[in-house]
Chains A and B, each alone.
Chain A
């Protein structure tokens, strides 16, 4: 797929994805708002610039793989896939409904472009490591990207996978952590503190990059940097604001697991439309 390099275009796309997610969650009447909306910039960077992929050939063997580990943010993935052309956009409004391709958590095989089934936390990095081991052993040029949440680092399996990735020197693996500081019961540092988060990954043998998870250019740059590190896997700790772009959701863990009402969805859409109008004037 042709890369989108114009920052204005990319920011427009992120805005469209946010608006999709708001509508999808309102229509679905259940789902996870804050994380999905907060990840719009990262998914825009990935699907419209970073990843080598072909929406017309989802099974192209040499594609880059994106493993989504925290499956509950799938509305942002579904919107990115639809906007990239994997399936018609009107399907988005069937999210979580009977007979839909868009399952409440992603299912490999049901929807084109989904690399892995997920939902139960902590399972994604292991699968990404498996793929990267194959790609490295067979000297493939494709890379593996793993999207993780901060909260799922409570699960020991994530750290088991982190150790194995370092053992096999998986320079073809880039993990991106949505560091939004919230999980279901509260703030991550209150539920089970993760800090010093970056130091933990460094101690596990990873290359660590901290980045503003809403600056699309910096996300793309961090992904490029990760490609230049051969002997270690890279983790990009992307600092995000949950619900970013929808002021009444921002930074509130209460918005982790609920959808907007009709009025809230309309308000969110108005907020996002207002932001969209400013994209022209802003300089990157």
Chain B
């Protein structure tokens, strides 16, 4: 098993396509950082416009922590595309290239092969997130420094102490990793049905975009199904940045407003991963390889 995992990783990291994602993230983050470095003031002014009505904000709002949050918010919409680029290609790409039949005529079971491939896709996804975390958090802190994190939610704002932020990012990145592995699992599942990689990549993205729209729309009919859509849960990393308040309306340092939501989402996402991978194994074991 370890041999095929090694081989799958070797294949992933020998492909130019793999580095597109790393490059794309670096470019996106670089541009945002550059832009905010140049003109961060007008961006934050725009952001604070709504709260400016009755409150004044003192201090360096635009620090590394806020920039990381902004980027996570933006990029976690795009990263699924990059994850799909590899995950949805895991089987279909080999079918397209014609290597799948050779691979499957080797003395490993299809289940082993799929698990190894999924594991490799997961490693890729995690590395992508580590890369994202490094650029969005570490580099932003290096450029913009640290400070308290001031966040605007739809019906309230949250101010987190500098010392109360890093662990939240750790949690958020771990959660985001799980969310992205779910995307990988979806792409992986779709990739077994196709003999070219474009189909599953587009299908994965379409499903995510479609479900995200359903998740975003605040229409009563959709609200019923929302809790069951995995896209609703992909964004639960934000819960790490919502703090509990005491009876006297003081934020309780180190607390999370809705830890249950995170737990629920983790549970739903794990269920999806197990479901997608399980279904992949089930379907793939019955599939005739004609490519």
Are A and B genuine complex partners?
A: no
